[in-house]
Amino acid sequence: MGSYCGGWWWRTGLWAAVVLAAAAVVAGGNVTYDGRSLIIDGERKVLFSGSIHYPRSTPKMWESLIGKAKEGGIDVIETYVFWNLHEPKPGQYDFSGRNDLVKFIKEVQAQGLYACLRIGPFIESEWTYGGLPFWLHDVPDIVYRTDNEPFKKYMQNFVTKIVDMMKAESLYASQGGPIILSQDNMITFVQVENEYGNVEAAFQEEGKAYVEWAAKMAVDLQTGVPWVMCKQPDAPDPVINSCNGMRCGETFAGPNSPSKPALWTENWTSFLQRYGEETYLRSAQDIAFHTLLFIIAKNGSFVNYYMVKIC
């Protein structure tokens, strides 16, 4: 949501944070963490990331987009994984053309960067139907994103499919690849689910049970890299809760355990535009200030600019 043009931070003073981070190019490695930071191959890291969604461009563009992000000071490329693109019909998968996730991650690796894979599989407002396949609508007795057996069955099938694909290509950092984190939405780290804390209370006890299930399901897949849940204050151990927003240096309450690092998975450079409203864009100075504040005040170890647009 929003953009920056490669190199703007050199003009606003954020270059100092990049120098302080001293994050090197990578070829995979052991990824751990504690309450102070992410630790890669025994070295503490402050990582700067940028979101590039592979299906929004063509494979011919990926090398240039990733390369320009790297030139602008980015260490990590973060992307969602788009369930409705990859599984248009139950059990029928499409990873061709601009859906070629493996090719995209390998391009990130080829340019010496890390990757953060957000498997979800829900994608909020950034994609049609939240990234969920429309055929789910016809599954008997299904209720989305709660402790519902039909939904959990299809979600687990898809998340497992993506994890196994990355393992087969040795793309997790634990295998020598670039993926360091996995998010509920997932490779250096991986994410599972997405901003579920916004709606969890509406599902009451079934919402809490779903969070526990999703975390256990993800960790049991044994990627060898940390898992993340964004905007999820009750993320079960060892899953790391992370912040999304514009001012996480002020608003983030911090990790829910003293053994977890402070991560900012979406540093919004803009915000969704409602019909009839003017486009909102943050200034480079505001983004730079709040990024440094997060690193200093919250002991931030990872900041992802959401989104990256290269000029």
Q: Is 149 tagged catalytic? A: no
Question: Catalytic: which of 195, 205, 212, 250?
Answer: 195
SS (H, E, C) 63-132: HHHHHHHHHCCCCEEEEECCHHHHCCECCECCCCHHHCHHHHHHHHHHCCCEEEEEEECCCHHHCHHHHC
Pairwise CA distance, residues 178 & 31, whole Å = 11
Pairwise CA distance, residues 300 & 311, whole Å = 28
Q: Is 200 tagged catalytic? A: no
Residues 33, 261: contact at Cβ < 8 Å? yes
Residue 224, helix vs strand vs coil:
coil
Question: Nearest-CA neighbor of 36 among 302, 285, 306, 308?
Answer: 302
Question: Nearest-CA neighbor of 134 among 90, 79, 91?
Answer: 90
Q: CA separation (Å) from 93 to 87, 121, 229?
A: 5, 15, 25
Q: CA separation (Å) from 60 to 63, 137, 297?
A: 7, 34, 40
| Burial class for 89, CB neighbours closer than 10 Å (0-12, 13-18, 19+) | exposed
Q: Give the active site residues.
A: 195, 266
